[in-house]
Amino acid sequence: MHVDMDCFFVSVGIRSRPELQLKPVAVAHSTNGLQVEFSSSEIASCNYPARAKGVKNGMFIGSAKKLAPDLVIIPYDFDSYDACSRMLYRILIENSDFVQAVSCDEAFVDLSHTVKQQLEKENLLPCNHISERLSRRIEEITREHAEHLRREICRETGCNASVGISTNLLLARIATFSAKPNGCHFLSAKDSTGMLRNLSIRDLPGVGWSTTEKCAQWHVTTCGELLQQVSLSTLQLELGEKTGQTLWDFCHGRDDRSLENKVRQTLGAEINWGIRFTTPAEIDTFLRRFCDEVYTRLHSSRWMAKHITVTAKKKLYEGEPGKFLGCGHCQDYSRSVQLQQYLRDVDELYRHVVGLFKEMALVPTDVRGVGIHLKKLQRRGPLKSKAGTLSSFFAAAADKPAIQSNSSNSDVKSAVPVATGKDAKPKVLGGSKSIAEFFRTGPTASLTKPANNNSSPVKRRYSNAMEELRNEVDLDILNSLPSPIREEQIEMLLGKIDMVKRKRLT
């Protein structure tokens, strides 16, 4: 099942403005001022009344105003997008077997277990073959769940969602095309053949500008044309073995991908609007502030990095581009460095970034974009140096058990809770105590007296260890370990503390 919010940014922005519900509306960095017809600000999202007049996402406001003079421009509201996205994912998680996050307003949902349970209750499973009656009942159950999800999403967020249902991720996504706006569509494998025949190659997932241009050279624009005019061997020769095979399978409606939430592979930022330098000193000041921002993201998301990549854009034109302060047509540059140890602080990041940028030997006035990307990511471990002490975790973890989650992103488009069971409740990882409770009571197996007996020497040892470990342990990481590993790690840490104490006494 593919769930996609309708015109998300616009829908969120006009929830409290019913007078705009039927008018053409777009979200962009602009106002409805007198000079708006000359604006080169790009439209991030537009509603269906605006699309009916030819307005599209990515279009300049000036061009959009010529098509729809009554187009209303509203500003971004990122706090509301974040809040609405969190409500969306809470609803999906509570009403499904598994959720794969795609973006802040889009996700794939698996209901296989739920549907199977319902069919077993109705004595339709197990069976030797899929009968017409069984197929019809599977469609009915999934439709019921989809409509329930859409009602809950609308009730909680005030925004509409469309749902596509099919047998794999590709077909579910394609089904959503027919579901929009504000609808639900079930696409069977039998019906998918005709729909794919006329589907644009550009609408397939993973197909970008380069593949589209290559297909255009073969006079191919749809999946049906590709299957008729291009062989699999030609696709693999021109696009690569893996990409060619994937495109061939997609055009046949085949997709063996399973739902998953991948661990983050890179973290960083890139700026290619408003970049105008005149001196090297301005670039150094900018890079310092840019490094502060990127390292703050790295630190707050609890990652470490061993690889740094700096990218830059050099203008290939005279004067200014059509978009005000845009980057225009540029040549891309990139320099990287692999570190021996994980990045220690923002000063180290700044030194490497400045060095890599200088290697590009760019004239300051030619620079139109800068990016900093950190790779080779690793979650920060339980042991920390005193310089990185987070003693507040002792207090924060006191009555807050860890919730089992598989989340891997930290921005609005991906910082969402990820799949849990339909009836899952927040629980401590490993089925054991929270780390703060562990330190209050010690390992259950080691106690010779009840946990509430303050005279226990074992308990006193673990209670007193709180202060000793304050500068050494990151409880958030330690608490996320499985119970046996966590308790073994704690015993090791306490053993080290006892050894240090003995050395002090001698």
Report the alpha-carbon distance of residue 6 to residue 241 in Å, rounded: 36
Catalytic residue among 106, 260, 282, 293: 106
Q: How far apart are the first and last CA of the chain?
A: 67
What angle do helix axes 132-157 and 78-94 make, rounded to 10 degrees?
140
Joined together, the tokens standing for residue 113 give: 């277990």
Phi first, then psi: give them for residue 88, nearest 5 degrees: -60, -50
Q: Is 106 a catalytic residue?
A: yes
CA-to-CA dists, residue 284 to 111, 268, 333, angstroms: 52, 18, 18
Contact partners, residue 47, CB within 8 Å, separation at least 6: 7, 10, 11, 14, 24, 25, 26
Provide the angle, in degrees to the nearest 10, between the axes of the packed helices 457-469 and 483-505: 80
How is residue 381 written in tokens? 């471990």
Torsional sign, CA 469, 472, 474, 478? negative
Residue 77, C-beta contacts closer than 8 angstroms, at least 6 positions apart: 12, 13
Q: What tokens were used for 306?
A: 């061993």
| Whether the Cβ atoms of residue 32 and residue 13 lie closer than 8 Å to each other | no
Which residues are designated catalytic?
106
